[in-house]
Amino acid sequence: MMNINVTEFESSLSGKGCRIAIVLSRFNEMITESLLSGALSKLKALGVSPNDIVLARVPGAFEITGTCRQLIASKKYDAILTLGAVIRGETPHFDVVVNAVAGGVGELAAKSDIPVIFGVLTTDNVEQAMNRAGLKSGNKGADVAEAAIEMINLYKKIK
């Protein structure tokens, strides 16, 4: 094996001093409130002060991207978490919303100087969504909160 010295950017999970914005869809509220609870619990556990967290509630997942753009432009936050739940129905509306929000958040994440973390569930049914919001498969809200803190610290190391 070749011995090569490389610089490695190591991140941490310390949220002390991190300013977080959360954009939460109200649609499918039973699920999104559970995602929010998971995110807030994880942020607290990682040392983020409640005074450093803001919450923007939007009507549905489609409105997440525009709100994120406004939050990025404010330059007040170290990361943005997006939380929502889009559940497949009987019409193509699911595909339209999922593609718009995933593409929009992905583009913002790629172009922004801060992490924009995608935490919008896209499931075939309510049971799958509930499982990912804390019932069986962990809590995606907690997962994206942890990812945000890790990415904030990684971005800081890179800069």
Residue 95: count other Cβ atoms within 10 Å of its Cβ: 12
3-state helix, strand, coil in the chain (%, to 5): 50, 20, 30
Identified catalytic residue from 76, 93, 156, 157: 93
**Is 93 marked active-site?**
yes
- Report the C-alpha gap between 22 and 82 in whole angstroms: 6
- With a CB cutoff of 8 Å and minimum separation 6, the contacts of 16 are 47, 48, 49
**Block residue for tokens 């002060």:** 49
Active-site residue numbers?
93
